[in-house]
Amino acid sequence: MKKNKRPSFQDLILFEDDDLIVLNKPSGISSLADRDGDKSSIHEMAKSYWPDAILCHRLDKFTSGVMLVAKSEAVYRYITLKFQKREVHKTYLTLVEGRQDFHNKLVDFRIYNSGNGKVRLDNALGKPATTYFSTKEQFRHYTLLECQPITGRMHQIRLHLLSIGLPVVGDQLYLGRDILLSNLKRNYKPPIDQDERPVNHGFLLHAHAIEFVMPGKEVLSRFEAPLNPGFEVVLKLLRKWDV
| Residues known to be catalytic | 60
**Chain-centre distance of CA 61, in angstroms?**
9
Closest CA to 69 of 223, 206, 208: 223
- CA dist., res. 204 & res. 95, Å (int): 6
- The letter for the amino acid at 66 is V
C-alpha to C-alpha distance for 163 and 119, rounded to whole angstroms? 13
